[in-house]
Amino acid sequence: MSDVYRIFGSELSGYSVKVRSYFRYKGLPHEWILRSPATQGEFQKHAKLPLVPLVVTPEGEGIQDSTPIIERFEASSPSLTPDDPALAFLSALLEEYGDEWGNKWMFHYRWTYPADCWATAERIAVQMMGAQGTLAVAQARAAVAERMSGRLGFVGSNPTTRPLIEASFKRVLEILDAHLASRPYMLGGRPATADFGLWGQLYEAATDPTPGALMRASAPNVMAWVNRMVSPKAEGSFESWSALSAGLMPLLTEEVGRLFLPWSMANAEAIGKGEKSFSMTLGGSTWSQEPQKYHARSLQEIRRKYAAAKGAPGLDEVLERTDCLRAFC
Protein backbone atom coordinates (compact mmCIF):
# COMPACT_ATOMS: atom_id res chain seq x y z
CA MET A 1 0.00 0.00 0.00
CA SER A 2 1.36 3.44 -0.95
CA ASP A 3 1.97 5.90 1.89
CA VAL A 4 1.10 8.84 -0.36
CA TYR A 5 -2.00 10.94 0.35
CA ARG A 6 -4.02 12.14 -2.62
CA ILE A 7 -5.42 15.66 -2.59
CA PHE A 8 -8.22 16.23 -5.06
CA GLY A 9 -8.49 19.98 -5.48
CA SER A 10 -8.37 22.99 -7.73
CA GLU A 11 -5.89 25.83 -8.04
CA LEU A 12 -8.95 28.10 -8.04
CA SER A 13 -10.18 26.89 -4.64
CA GLY A 14 -8.78 28.72 -1.62
CA TYR A 15 -9.64 25.76 0.59
CA SER A 16 -7.82 23.34 -1.72
CA VAL A 17 -4.59 25.32 -1.84
CA LYS A 18 -4.84 25.83 1.93
CA VAL A 19 -4.70 22.06 2.46
CA ARG A 20 -1.94 21.60 -0.11
CA SER A 21 0.16 24.28 1.61
CA TYR A 22 -0.37 22.53 4.94
CA PHE A 23 0.76 19.18 3.53
CA ARG A 24 3.86 20.83 2.14
CA TYR A 25 4.62 22.42 5.50
CA LYS A 26 4.23 19.12 7.33
CA GLY A 27 6.28 17.23 4.77
CA LEU A 28 3.42 14.77 4.21
CA PRO A 29 3.89 12.78 0.97
CA HIS A 30 1.04 13.70 -1.32
CA GLU A 31 -0.14 13.83 -4.89
CA TRP A 32 -2.03 16.90 -6.11
CA ILE A 33 -4.89 15.78 -8.39
CA LEU A 34 -6.96 18.35 -10.26
CA ARG A 35 -10.64 17.61 -9.99
CA SER A 36 -11.82 17.38 -13.58
CA PRO A 37 -14.02 15.14 -15.75
CA ALA A 38 -11.03 12.81 -16.09
CA THR A 39 -10.77 12.30 -12.31
CA GLN A 40 -14.46 12.55 -11.42
CA GLY A 41 -14.99 8.79 -11.09
CA GLU A 42 -12.17 8.42 -8.58
CA PHE A 43 -13.34 11.53 -6.74
CA GLN A 44 -16.89 10.19 -6.36
CA LYS A 45 -15.62 6.92 -4.89
CA HIS A 46 -14.35 8.74 -1.80
CA ALA A 47 -16.29 12.02 -1.54
CA LYS A 48 -19.43 12.41 0.54
CA LEU A 49 -19.98 15.94 -0.80
CA PRO A 50 -19.27 17.32 -4.30
CA LEU A 51 -16.72 19.73 -2.85
CA VAL A 52 -12.94 20.11 -2.88
CA PRO A 53 -10.59 19.59 -1.24
CA LEU A 54 -10.85 15.87 -0.78
CA VAL A 55 -7.95 14.05 0.87
CA VAL A 56 -7.78 10.30 0.30
CA THR A 57 -5.59 8.55 2.85
CA PRO A 58 -3.28 5.64 1.98
CA GLU A 59 -5.93 3.40 3.56
CA GLY A 60 -8.59 4.71 1.16
CA GLU A 61 -10.47 6.95 3.57
CA GLY A 62 -11.87 10.19 2.16
CA ILE A 63 -11.67 13.35 4.30
CA GLN A 64 -13.30 16.66 3.31
CA ASP A 65 -13.46 20.27 4.56
CA SER A 66 -10.16 22.09 4.98
CA THR A 67 -10.26 22.82 8.72
CA PRO A 68 -11.22 19.26 9.78
CA ILE A 69 -8.54 17.89 7.42
CA ILE A 70 -5.86 20.01 9.07
CA GLU A 71 -7.15 19.28 12.56
CA ARG A 72 -7.08 15.57 11.83
CA PHE A 73 -3.32 15.68 11.17
CA GLU A 74 -2.59 18.24 13.87
CA ALA A 75 -4.14 15.92 16.46
CA SER A 76 -1.28 13.46 16.06
CA SER A 77 1.50 15.90 15.16
CA PRO A 78 0.74 19.44 16.38
CA SER A 79 2.75 22.33 14.99
CA LEU A 80 0.33 25.18 14.27
CA THR A 81 -0.81 25.90 17.82
CA PRO A 82 0.98 28.21 20.28
CA ASP A 83 1.42 27.00 23.86
CA ASP A 84 -0.54 30.01 25.12
CA PRO A 85 -4.18 28.81 25.02
CA ALA A 86 -5.53 32.35 24.62
CA LEU A 87 -3.33 32.95 21.58
CA ALA A 88 -4.24 29.50 20.24
CA PHE A 89 -7.93 30.38 20.34
CA LEU A 90 -7.37 33.77 18.71
CA SER A 91 -5.48 32.00 15.94
CA ALA A 92 -8.42 29.62 15.43
CA LEU A 93 -10.80 32.59 15.39
CA LEU A 94 -8.73 34.31 12.70
CA GLU A 95 -8.71 31.11 10.67
CA GLU A 96 -12.50 31.01 10.92
CA TYR A 97 -12.68 34.64 9.87
CA GLY A 98 -10.43 33.98 6.87
CA ASP A 99 -12.37 30.92 5.77
CA GLU A 100 -15.83 32.41 6.14
CA TRP A 101 -15.50 36.19 5.70
CA GLY A 102 -12.38 36.23 3.51
CA ASN A 103 -14.23 34.07 1.00
CA LYS A 104 -16.57 37.03 0.46
CA TRP A 105 -13.70 39.25 -0.78
CA MET A 106 -12.40 36.59 -3.13
CA PHE A 107 -15.77 35.53 -4.55
CA HIS A 108 -17.00 39.11 -4.89
CA TYR A 109 -14.01 40.39 -6.87
CA ARG A 110 -13.74 37.21 -8.92
CA TRP A 111 -17.31 37.18 -10.19
CA THR A 112 -18.34 40.87 -10.06
CA TYR A 113 -15.65 42.45 -12.22
CA PRO A 114 -15.85 41.44 -15.91
CA ALA A 115 -12.08 41.01 -16.36
CA ASP A 116 -11.87 38.75 -13.33
CA CYS A 117 -15.02 36.83 -14.22
CA TRP A 118 -13.84 36.03 -17.75
CA ALA A 119 -10.28 35.25 -16.72
CA THR A 120 -11.43 32.80 -14.05
CA ALA A 121 -14.12 31.28 -16.26
CA GLU A 122 -11.42 30.68 -18.88
CA ARG A 123 -9.20 28.88 -16.37
CA ILE A 124 -12.09 26.68 -15.24
CA ALA A 125 -13.17 25.97 -18.81
CA VAL A 126 -9.68 24.90 -19.82
CA GLN A 127 -9.52 22.58 -16.80
CA MET A 128 -12.89 21.07 -17.69
CA MET A 129 -12.84 21.01 -21.50
CA GLY A 130 -9.28 21.63 -22.65
CA ALA A 131 -8.93 18.22 -24.26
CA GLN A 132 -12.01 18.85 -26.40
CA GLY A 133 -10.74 21.89 -28.27
CA THR A 134 -11.12 25.65 -28.53
CA LEU A 135 -14.85 25.75 -29.27
CA ALA A 136 -15.70 23.55 -26.30
CA VAL A 137 -13.59 25.78 -24.03
CA ALA A 138 -15.29 28.94 -25.31
CA GLN A 139 -18.76 27.47 -24.74
CA ALA A 140 -17.83 26.27 -21.27
CA ARG A 141 -16.31 29.65 -20.39
CA ALA A 142 -19.57 31.45 -21.19
CA ALA A 143 -21.58 28.94 -19.18
CA VAL A 144 -19.26 29.13 -16.17
CA ALA A 145 -19.25 32.94 -16.17
CA GLU A 146 -23.04 33.07 -16.28
CA ARG A 147 -23.50 30.43 -13.59
CA MET A 148 -20.94 31.80 -11.13
CA SER A 149 -21.83 35.47 -11.45
CA GLY A 150 -25.39 34.38 -10.70
CA ARG A 151 -24.21 32.91 -7.40
CA LEU A 152 -22.83 36.14 -5.93
CA GLY A 153 -25.76 36.19 -3.53
CA PHE A 154 -24.31 33.08 -1.92
CA VAL A 155 -21.64 35.22 -0.23
CA GLY A 156 -23.91 38.24 0.21
CA SER A 157 -22.42 40.22 -2.66
CA ASN A 158 -24.81 42.67 -4.31
CA PRO A 159 -24.78 46.36 -5.28
CA THR A 160 -25.74 47.37 -1.72
CA THR A 161 -23.06 45.31 0.04
CA ARG A 162 -20.33 45.91 -2.57
CA PRO A 163 -18.82 48.98 -0.84
CA LEU A 164 -18.60 47.19 2.51
CA ILE A 165 -16.94 44.08 1.05
CA GLU A 166 -14.39 46.09 -0.88
CA ALA A 167 -13.65 48.40 2.06
CA SER A 168 -13.11 45.33 4.25
CA PHE A 169 -10.64 43.87 1.76
CA LYS A 170 -8.63 47.09 1.51
CA ARG A 171 -8.64 47.57 5.29
CA VAL A 172 -7.33 44.04 5.83
CA LEU A 173 -4.53 44.61 3.34
CA GLU A 174 -3.50 47.75 5.23
CA ILE A 175 -3.61 46.03 8.64
CA LEU A 176 -1.80 42.90 7.51
CA ASP A 177 0.84 44.77 5.55
CA ALA A 178 1.87 46.67 8.68
CA HIS A 179 1.72 43.54 10.84
CA LEU A 180 3.78 41.42 8.44
CA ALA A 181 6.46 44.06 7.97
CA SER A 182 8.40 42.69 10.95
CA ARG A 183 7.57 38.96 10.94
CA PRO A 184 7.23 36.22 8.31
CA TYR A 185 3.91 34.83 9.57
CA MET A 186 0.81 35.98 11.42
CA LEU A 187 1.97 34.84 14.86
CA GLY A 188 5.71 35.19 14.42
CA GLY A 189 8.36 32.92 13.01
CA ARG A 190 6.22 29.95 12.00
CA PRO A 191 2.80 29.50 10.39
CA ALA A 192 -0.28 29.03 12.54
CA THR A 193 -3.88 28.14 11.80
CA ALA A 194 -4.54 31.86 11.32
CA ASP A 195 -2.10 31.93 8.40
CA PHE A 196 -3.72 29.06 6.54
CA GLY A 197 -7.27 30.38 6.86
CA LEU A 198 -6.45 33.92 5.73
CA TRP A 199 -3.90 32.85 3.14
CA GLY A 200 -6.12 30.56 1.09
CA GLN A 201 -8.49 33.41 0.21
CA LEU A 202 -5.76 36.03 -0.29
CA TYR A 203 -3.76 33.65 -2.49
CA GLU A 204 -6.78 33.33 -4.75
CA ALA A 205 -7.33 37.08 -4.75
CA ALA A 206 -3.69 37.60 -5.73
CA THR A 207 -4.18 35.47 -8.85
CA ASP A 208 -7.14 37.53 -10.11
CA PRO A 209 -6.73 40.78 -12.07
CA THR A 210 -8.54 43.34 -9.90
CA PRO A 211 -7.70 42.31 -6.31
CA GLY A 212 -4.26 41.12 -7.42
CA ALA A 213 -3.45 44.59 -8.76
CA LEU A 214 -4.63 46.15 -5.49
CA MET A 215 -2.44 43.80 -3.49
CA ARG A 216 0.67 44.40 -5.57
CA ALA A 217 0.20 48.18 -5.46
CA SER A 218 -0.59 48.61 -1.77
CA ALA A 219 0.57 45.58 0.22
CA PRO A 220 4.09 44.35 -0.62
CA ASN A 221 4.49 42.60 2.72
CA VAL A 222 1.21 40.76 2.22
CA MET A 223 2.34 39.68 -1.24
CA ALA A 224 5.65 38.41 0.17
CA TRP A 225 3.69 36.41 2.77
CA VAL A 226 1.33 35.08 0.08
CA ASN A 227 4.33 33.78 -1.85
CA ARG A 228 5.98 32.43 1.32
CA MET A 229 2.88 30.48 2.30
CA VAL A 230 2.81 28.53 -0.96
CA SER A 231 5.48 26.27 0.60
CA PRO A 232 5.84 27.55 4.16
CA LYS A 233 8.74 26.73 6.45
CA ALA A 234 9.29 27.39 10.14
CA GLU A 235 11.74 30.26 10.54
CA GLY A 236 11.47 30.75 14.29
CA SER A 237 9.08 30.60 17.23
CA PHE A 238 5.63 31.97 17.90
CA GLU A 239 5.68 35.41 19.48
CA SER A 240 3.83 36.38 22.66
CA TRP A 241 0.50 38.15 22.60
CA SER A 242 2.17 41.29 23.98
CA ALA A 243 4.41 41.37 20.88
CA LEU A 244 1.55 40.61 18.48
CA SER A 245 -1.25 42.69 19.96
CA ALA A 246 -0.41 45.99 18.24
CA GLY A 247 -0.84 44.35 14.85
CA LEU A 248 -3.68 41.95 15.57
CA MET A 249 -5.95 44.10 17.73
CA PRO A 250 -7.03 46.25 14.76
CA LEU A 251 -7.87 43.12 12.77
CA LEU A 252 -9.84 41.60 15.63
CA THR A 253 -11.63 44.88 16.35
CA GLU A 254 -12.37 46.35 12.93
CA GLU A 255 -13.01 43.12 11.10
CA VAL A 256 -13.79 40.17 13.37
CA GLY A 257 -15.69 42.02 16.10
CA ARG A 258 -17.31 44.70 13.95
CA LEU A 259 -18.21 42.70 10.84
CA PHE A 260 -17.63 38.96 10.85
CA LEU A 261 -19.09 37.82 14.16
CA PRO A 262 -22.21 40.07 14.00
CA TRP A 263 -22.85 38.73 10.49
CA SER A 264 -22.26 35.15 11.61
CA MET A 265 -24.68 35.51 14.55
CA ALA A 266 -27.37 37.08 12.36
CA ASN A 267 -26.96 34.29 9.82
CA ALA A 268 -27.31 31.63 12.53
CA GLU A 269 -30.37 33.36 13.95
CA ALA A 270 -32.02 33.40 10.53
CA ILE A 271 -31.28 29.69 10.09
CA GLY A 272 -32.77 28.98 13.51
CA LYS A 273 -35.96 30.82 12.58
CA GLY A 274 -36.20 29.14 9.18
CA GLU A 275 -36.02 32.47 7.36
CA LYS A 276 -35.22 32.57 3.66
CA SER A 277 -33.33 35.87 3.91
CA PHE A 278 -32.09 38.28 6.53
CA SER A 279 -31.14 41.95 6.67
CA MET A 280 -29.06 43.78 9.23
CA THR A 281 -27.00 46.89 9.78
CA LEU A 282 -23.37 45.92 9.45
CA GLY A 283 -20.52 48.38 9.72
CA GLY A 284 -23.00 51.23 9.32
CA SER A 285 -24.41 49.78 6.10
CA THR A 286 -27.31 47.53 5.17
CA TRP A 287 -26.46 43.87 4.62
CA SER A 288 -28.97 41.44 3.09
CA GLN A 289 -28.56 37.86 1.92
CA GLU A 290 -29.93 34.34 2.03
CA PRO A 291 -28.78 32.54 5.20
CA GLN A 292 -26.18 29.82 4.81
CA LYS A 293 -26.52 26.60 6.83
CA TYR A 294 -22.83 25.76 6.72
CA HIS A 295 -21.90 29.06 8.33
CA ALA A 296 -24.29 28.39 11.21
CA ARG A 297 -22.52 25.07 11.88
CA SER A 298 -19.19 26.85 11.60
CA LEU A 299 -20.23 29.32 14.32
CA GLN A 300 -21.16 26.41 16.58
CA GLU A 301 -17.69 24.96 16.08
CA ILE A 302 -15.81 28.15 16.98
CA ARG A 303 -18.05 28.49 20.03
CA ARG A 304 -17.08 24.95 21.01
CA LYS A 305 -13.43 25.93 20.74
CA TYR A 306 -14.06 28.97 22.90
CA ALA A 307 -15.73 26.82 25.56
CA ALA A 308 -12.60 24.66 25.66
CA ALA A 309 -10.33 27.73 25.95
CA LYS A 310 -12.54 29.72 28.34
CA GLY A 311 -10.63 30.82 31.42
CA ALA A 312 -7.30 31.10 29.61
CA PRO A 313 -5.48 34.09 31.10
CA GLY A 314 -6.17 37.25 29.15
CA LEU A 315 -8.53 35.73 26.59
CA ASP A 316 -11.81 37.30 27.67
CA GLU A 317 -10.10 40.67 28.11
CA VAL A 318 -8.96 40.64 24.49
CA LEU A 319 -12.34 39.41 23.24
CA GLU A 320 -14.17 42.08 25.23
CA ARG A 321 -11.88 44.90 24.03
CA THR A 322 -12.42 43.84 20.41
CA ASP A 323 -16.20 43.41 20.81
CA CYS A 324 -15.89 39.70 20.02
CA LEU A 325 -16.92 38.35 23.43
CA ARG A 326 -20.65 38.83 22.87
CA ALA A 327 -20.56 36.08 20.24
CA PHE A 328 -19.44 33.58 22.87
CA CYS A 329 -21.58 34.53 25.87
Check whether residue 234 and residue 299 sit in a common domain: yes
Is residue 100 within 8 A of residue 260, CB to CB? The reply is yes
Q: Which of 52-61, 130-139, 177-186, 216-225 has the lowest mean pLDDT?
A: 130-139
Check whether residue 323 and residue 226 sit in a common domain: yes
Whether 1 shows a pLDDT value over 80: the answer reads: no
Whether 316 shows a pLDDT value over 80: the answer reads: yes
Check whether residue 287 and residue 165 sit in a common domain: yes
The pLDDT value recorded for residue 131 is: 67
Check whether residue 176 and residue 306 sit in a common domain: yes
Complete DSSP assignment for 87-107: HHHHHHHHHHHHHHTHHHHHH
Look at the chain and report how many structural domains it folds into: 2
DSSP state of 260: I
**Three-state secondary structure readout of 169-233:** HHHHHHHHHHHCCCCCECCECCCCHHHHHHHHHHHHHHCCHHHHHHHHHHCHHHHHHHHHCCCCC
Please name the residues in contact with 18: beta carbons below 8 A apart, sequence gap of 6 or more.
53, 66, 70, 196, 197, 199, 200
Assign 3-state DSSP to the chain and report helix, strand, coil percentages, each to 5. Answer: 65, 10, 30
Asked if the structure places residue 137 within a domain, the reply is no
Q: Which of 69-78, 100-109, 120-129, 188-197 has the lowest mean pLDDT?
A: 120-129
Tens of pLDDT along 205-250?
Answer: 999 999 999 999 999 999 999 999 999 999 999 999 999 999 999 9
The pLDDT value recorded for residue 132 is: 77
Tens of pLDDT along 124-169?
Answer: 999 888 667 788 899 999 999 999 999 999 999 999 999 999 999 9
Tens of pLDDT along 19-36?
Answer: 999 999 999 999 999 998
Asked if the structure places residue 143 within a domain, the reply is no
Check whether residue 290 and residue 218 sit in a common domain: yes
Mean per-residue pLDDT for 191-202?
Answer: 98
Rg of the Cα atoms in the chain: 20
Mean of the per-residue pLDDT values of the chain: 96
Asked if the structure places residue 132 within a domain, the reply is no
The pLDDT value recorded for residue 37 is: 85
CATH assignment of the domain containing 30: 3.40.30.10
The pLDDT value recorded for residue 202 is: 98
Asked if the structure places residue 23 within a domain, the reply is yes
Mean per-residue pLDDT for 249-270?
Answer: 98
Q: In the beta sheet, which residues pair with residue 7?
A: 32, 55
From 76, 98, 129, give the residue that closes a domain. 76
Check whether residue 44 and residue 101 sit in a common domain: no
Asked if the structure places residue 150 within a domain, the reply is no
Check whether residue 183 and residue 68 sit in a common domain: no
Check whether residue 170 and residue 199 sit in a common domain: yes
Tell me which residue range forms the domain holding 21: 5-76
Check whether residue 94 and residue 16 sit in a common domain: no
Check whether residue 164 and residue 282 sit in a common domain: yes
Check whether residue 245 and residue 287 sit in a common domain: yes
Reference 106, options 74, 64, 78, 148; nearest CA is 148
Residue 18 and residue 192: Cα distance in Å, rounded? Answer: 12
- Kind plus residue range of the DSSP H or E element containing 109: helix 102-112
Reference 65, options 48, 40, 90, 86; nearest CA is 48
Whether 104 shows a pLDDT value over 80: the answer reads: yes
- Mutual angle of helices 85-100 and 66-76, in 10-degree steps: 150
Q: Which of 173-187, 191-205, 289-303 has the lowest mean pLDDT?
A: 289-303
Strand-pair category, 62-64 with 54-56:
antiparallel
The pLDDT value recorded for residue 233 is: 98
Asked if the structure places residue 101 within a domain, the reply is yes
Whether 53 shows a pLDDT value over 80: the answer reads: yes
The pLDDT value recorded for residue 130 is: 66
Check whether residue 201 and residue 290 sit in a common domain: yes
Question: Which pTM value belongs to this model?
Answer: 0.96
